[in-house]
Amino acid sequence: MARLRCVLVLALLLVTTQLPGDAIAGRGHGHHGPAAHDYRDALAKSILFFEGQRSGKLPPSQRQSWRRDSGLSDGASAKVDLVGGYHDAGDNVKFGFPMAFSMTMLAWSVVEFGGLMKGELQHAREAVRWGADYLLKATAHPDTIYVQVGDATKDHACWERPEDMDTPRTVYKVDAGTPGSDVAAETAAALAASSLVFRKSDPAYASRLLARAKRVFAFADRHRGSYSTGLAADVCPYYCSYSGYQDELLWGAAWLHRATKSPTYLSYIQLNGQVLGADESDNTFGWDNKHAGARILIAKSFLVQRVASLHEYKGHADTFICSMVPGTPTDQTQYTRGGLLFKLSDSNMQYVTSSAFLLLTYAKYLAFAKETVTCGGGAVVTPQRLRAIARRQVDYLLGSNPMGMSYMVGYGPRYPRRIHHRASSLPSVAAHPGRIGCSQGFTALYAGGANPNMLVGAVVGGPDLQDKFPDQRNDHEHSEPATYINAPLVGALAYLAHSYGQL
């Protein structure tokens, strides 16, 4: 339910032009002081979370051992194999749009910071492969992409374990007659990004992923339209494509350019970038809107690869960055009194983690090119400042906040105990072998005790605008975890753990 898009709280409070305390300067932290948190432990747990979200036949190496096989007949109703993949959040539907975005961001985390992950790199690769394998199945038939498994309305009318699912596992697809450029281009991005993860360790698999990414992107571009037009009754209001499909086409092209270095995709970006919104001023990056991420990604080609024809993307990326830095003339940021970036009341932490990742990644590109960002009025923003802002957000998430609470399950002494998650909140199959029915499970939803199964590493939606978190299971806006919250956090934690010598 964390997917439901909320209207922005119009009265959001911009408390100060500077983040509280040492948020900007990083006093007492950073490379010259002690680490505020055990980023290495948090990194390991942020990756482990994905094992708790798995659907399908679980491997012997499964570490969230309270989970069991589920969805083993997924796709059968359409005579296709759609076993596997991930549940997006606390429900049992497999939503292809956010799953693909989660895989793109998890892969980007590994591509950008995997070299720093040491022993966690293999776990991160396994998490990417679990999703990529599913996306290969979902795109096995040319000009067809299977984008959802499960009737979302009927699924949300039940509170049951994935292992007990008896709601319809209806299969939904986009094709030439029912286009979905947004979900298709995002799937292409995920496949292309994943190919980079395996380019050295498994080149044959990487080649297969990249070939599929090219085919899927061509389909997305050739048959244009939003998937939530033709599938509105099935994907809305959960994962409607509110921002349209233009951002995904630019994002998909950016990933294919990065993965192939082909003039084809460079030309596509040059010819279509402005039409697809390259210079739009939106600064919310998440499963719906990819413009900010695309601008950062394409700017790398200019800053690092010195592709001169993409110089304007440095400006596009800088515009986004300036909107995120407090105190600049074009600052659009809003923070809680405790210092948390606040975008939406529903699953706000997804924007915290995605923004922190983009800030750290752009800081990396800028540092390589020995560049800074100029934000008008002579305000110069350095890579160090971007890192300090990002680190403050991650530190808040891990417990440096007014509640003294980590918003990652299993990290630190105090963390959410009653998360909005069916499998975590109901007794495991090992503890309760008998089936728990659709309506029977709701007793657990409204019960007061801690969840019986700890979904280690899960990051919940987070506190409200007043830095308060009630830790109530039926409060999906604040208590539900999601794959797209964790995926960008993996990269941010890898960078921080390395920068403090923890890896």
Q: Is the dihedral of CA 157, 160, 163, 166 positive or negative?
A: negative
Residues 6+ apart with CB under 8 A from 100: 135, 183, 186, 187, 189, 190
Length of the chain: 503
Residue 421 known to be catalytic: no
Please name the residues in contact with 381: beta carbons below 8 A apart, sequence gap of 6 or more: 321, 322, 325, 328, 372, 373, 374, 375
Bridge partners, residue 149, by sequence = 94, 171
Instruction: Let me know: does 488 contact 356? Beta carbons within 8 Å.
Output: yes
- Alpha carbon distance, N-terminus to C-terminus of the chain: 36
491 vs 503: CA distance, rounded Å: 13
Give the helix ranges, DSSP H, for 114-262: 121-138, 152-156, 181-197, 203-222, 227-230, 232-235, 246-260
Q: Are strands 373-374 and 171-175 parallel, antiparallel or unpaired?
A: unpaired
Q: With contact defined as beta carbons under 8 Å apart, do 42 and 32 qualify? A: no
Closest to 262 (Cα-Cα) out of 317, 213, 229: 213
Give the gyration radius of the chain's Cα atoms.
21
Q: How far is CA 322 from CA 97, 348, 476, in A?
A: 29, 20, 32
Residue among 37, 87, 420, 476 flagged as catalytic = 420
Q: Which residues are identified as catalytic?
A: 420
